[in-house]
Amino acid sequence: MIPRIGFGYDIHKLAAGEDLWLGGIKLEFHLGTVGHSDADVLIHAICDALLGAANLRDIGYHFPDTDKEWKGADSKELLKSVTAILKDKGYAIGNIDSTLVMERPKINPHIEAMQKVLAPLMNISEDEISIKATTSEKLSFVGNEEGVKAYAVALIYKK
């Protein structure tokens, strides 16, 4: 069994009047992420980590933001599709580790809920999806609450 590793990174702008979807759940906050889909930065980073591990390009390649089909799309559906793409290629997911970078709101109270939502979409257990959160110490665009970032790594293996 040869494991493969993948890395994913994503950024979304924050703006008033937008919903804040993170890790598959909607958080109450006065700012939300801007994007073609529901702009769930954590899910997008995870999708890219999974696709990268399988050397299958990135989510922009599979779900182009010029495509009306993905306008306002639920990112949970994208993650399900990515899991299916990997499964078709004979891959199973081992584990994911991820980090959200944003100033507010506090993410830690929501991590368990995110794990509960995301794990079944990838056919893994909650123990196999790690979500961490940190701030940007008020520095740069994340610190100014102009945007949010997420990083993820994924381990996959051929079944």
What residues make contact with Zn ion under the rule CB under 5 A? 10, 44
- Is residue 33 within 8 A of residue 101, CB to CB? The reply is no
Enumerate the H helices of 3-63 as residue ranges.
Answer: 41-53, 59-62
* CB 81 to Zn ion: min, Å: 15
* CB 140 to Zn ion: min, Å: 18
* CB 90 to Zn ion: min, Å: 27
* CB 44 to Zn ion: min, Å: 3
Enumerate the H helices of the chain as residue ranges.
Answer: 41-53, 59-62, 75-88, 111-121, 140-143
Tokens of 3: 């494991």
Measured from the CB atom, is 65 or 112 closer to Zn ion? 65
Measured from the CB atom, is 10 or 76 closer to Zn ion? 10
Measured from the CB atom, is 46 or 122 closer to Zn ion? 46
Q: At CA 46, angle to CA 32 and CA 159, rounded to 5?
A: 155
Measured from the CB atom, is 10 or 21 closer to Zn ion? 10
C-alpha closest to that of 104 among 74, 147, 42: 147
